[in-house]
Structure 1
Amino acid sequence: MATSTTSKQVLVRLTPEEHVALQRFASITNTSANDVVRRALRDFLAGPGRREEFDQLVSDAKDQYRAALDRLADE
């Protein structure tokens, strides 16, 4: 899997059981734990309804902060 030169580091806390499962899966599939997590995240975000859910959250936030956003746009 290609890595981007602009990648960012994130700390993810796992239970001991999750850590063991991640390490075993990475070993069995001959890949790194990092790549397993990145692939799982991409698959999750691409899942059914995720884009719509994200768009709705953005729309709700815009509605909630409309007055403040309008004031900032006027400055």
Structure 2
Amino acid sequence: MTYTATALALTRLTPAELRAEPTSAGRFVESFVLQQLRPQADAVSGELMHVRTGSGEHEVDAVTRPLLAVPLGSVMG
């Protein structure tokens, strides 16, 4: 689902249930963050990727190529 708020509303999970299920809550947060990053990556003809070690022990949810170099305090877009 594209819109995190809509997906979350359809689950009918309460805030207490989300706190009790950090894995589920994390998926919604990750989805929201990626929605916010995608237009920024598109603006510089970048690509948003997910990276995981071969063993699956470590992962990074959002890596851009080319890497976005933005001075602190700047706003892109």
TM more than 0.5: no
Task: Name the structure where strand makes up a greater proportion of residues.
Answer: 2
Task: Name the structure where helix makes up a greater proportion of residues.
Answer: 1
Structure number with the bigger relative contact order (C-alpha 8 A, sep ≥ 6) is 2
Q: Could you state the TM-score of these two structures normalised by the residue count of structure 2? A: 0.29
